[in-house]
Amino acid sequence: MTRLSVNINKIATLRNSRGGNIPDVVEAAINCQKFGAEGITIHPRPDERHIKRQDVYDLKPIITTELNIEGYPDEDFLKLVTNVKATQVTLVPDSPDQLTSDHGWDIPANKEFLREVIKRLKEEGIRTSIFVDPESKMIEEANIIGADRIELYTASYAAKYGENPEKAIAPFVTAAKTADMLGLCINAGHDLNLKNLQYFIGMIPSVKEVSIGHALIADALYLGLRNTIREYLECIR
């Protein structure tokens, strides 16, 4: 069954816009889990424009599900995720000033670097996931370097879904078949929402986890956090 991990970056963005601690990201994570989320995702960036380093340490003790930490694996990031013993680390190829993740890894061009990062994380008992575009070649390479999972970057699916769902999902179905054949578990994320999520999971039922933040937190402004999480879980199940 697909698990829902709620990305709480946007809650931290709102807090940081005013200073202080409203809304409280720790309380938000506690409530997300209480309302049914099966994981919490955070993406601490070097400029701390949303999740701050201290948030990572504050969040870890209250996680009763799974803590998924996304980020570019520089030395500071690796020290952070190993110090808190994240359940899963999702490796993304973001530059420090990037607004949001917008492409997957070119794994052949970064093969030895990523191999060493994954080896280091596995030695710490941390599950690894690598952010990829829906390309079978990249999924094969992810398997070669020892990743436990891939995370399919779903922005292109979301952008094309309204026009032609079958065409939008096609490359993801092919990519998922490759991952399934190799024994790689599949995560997915980016621009998934209440309109397109059910179809995505229906077409790729082997997805282990979806990580959703921006759309879910935006929906919660209108529906409330409890109702929003319930609706996302209904889409999945």
Domain ranges (residues) in the chain: 3-236
Average pLDDT by consecutive 10-residue portion of the chain (237 residues)? 97 95 98 98 94 97 98 96 98 74 86 97 98 96 98 97 98 98 97 98 98 97 98 96
Q: How far apart are CA 187 and CA 152, in angstroms?
A: 6
Separation of alpha carbons 115 and 117, rounded Å: 6
What confidence score (pLDDT) does residue 227 get?
98
Confidence at residue 94, expressed as pLDDT on a 0 to 100 scale = 75
The DSSP bridge partners found for residue 209 are 3, 187
CA–CA gap between residue 215 and residue 154 (Å, rounded): 13
Kindly list the catalytic residues. Answer: 43, 70, 190
Task: Tell me the β-bridge partners of 42.
Answer: 69
Distance of CA 116 to the CA centre of its chain: 21
Q: Give the distance, in angstroms, between the CA of residue 46 and the centroid of all CA atoms in the same chain.
A: 18
For the domain spanning 3-236, the CATH number is 3.20.20.70
Predicted pLDDT of residue 107: 96
Of residues 203, 206, 205, the one with CA closest to residue 166: 203
* pLDDT for the residue numbered 217: 98
